[in-house]
Amino acid sequence: MPADRFVEALNAQIGNELAAHNQYLACAVHYDAETMPRMAAFFYAQALEERDHAMMMVQYLLDTDAPVAIPGVEPPQGSFSDVVAPVALALEQEKRVTEQINGLLRIAREESDFASEQFMQWFIKEQVEEVATMSDLLAVATRNRNDIEDIEEYVAREQGAEGDDPTAPRQAGA
């Protein structure tokens, strides 16, 4: 069984991932309302990815006979001043999640919880990708804030389906 400190922190992270899901869902709805279908689709997909991360964490706890506690989450920000604001918020969120994931890895190391440390490695890699994606999208959205067609074109060109990652942890319910 994982270290108690790690279990407690991972249960909290499940809530963080579900909050990120809700925030990305709110971003997607914003872009849908702005008639930006590619940005909406991108954020709907991001929302599902965050939910999947939470379910990977749930599955890990189940697999290791650790208790699972699904925490409540705060409501997401639902209104935005322009087409750039949701992306800026998403980048800050990804940076915050990166710190949280690093913290989980740190706890696993401090507790000599090698299985949990190994589990967290995939999330470390994932966060590098997430921050890079949002950084690039923010640059494009900022540069093209008055030309949403260019933003939509960028997303269509650059954010295609990558397929499943065979190294990803299993998800509960999948």
pTM above 0.85, yes or no: yes
Amino acid at 32: D
Domain ranges of the chain: 4-70+80-158
CA distance 71 to 54: 11
**63, pLDDT greater than 80:** yes
Note the Cα 124 to chain centre separation in Å. 12
94 burial (CB, 10 Å; 0-12 / 13-18 / 19+) is buried
Region 6-28: mean pLDDT is: 98
User: Superfamily for 4-70+80-158?
Assistant: Ferritin, core subunit, four-helix bundle (1.20.1260.10)
- Model confidence at 172, pLDDT cuts 50, 70, 90, reads confident
Contact of 2 with 59, CB cutoff 8 Å: no
Rg (CA), the chain: 17
Positive or negative, the CA dihedral 161, 164, 169, 174 is positive
Residue for token digits 């699972």?
68
Contact of 163 with 170, CB cutoff 8 Å: no
Region 127-148: mean pLDDT is: 96
Contact partners, residue 157, CB within 8 Å, separation at least 6: none
What CA–CA distances, in Å, run from 47 to 4, 18, 19, 28? 29, 9, 10, 8
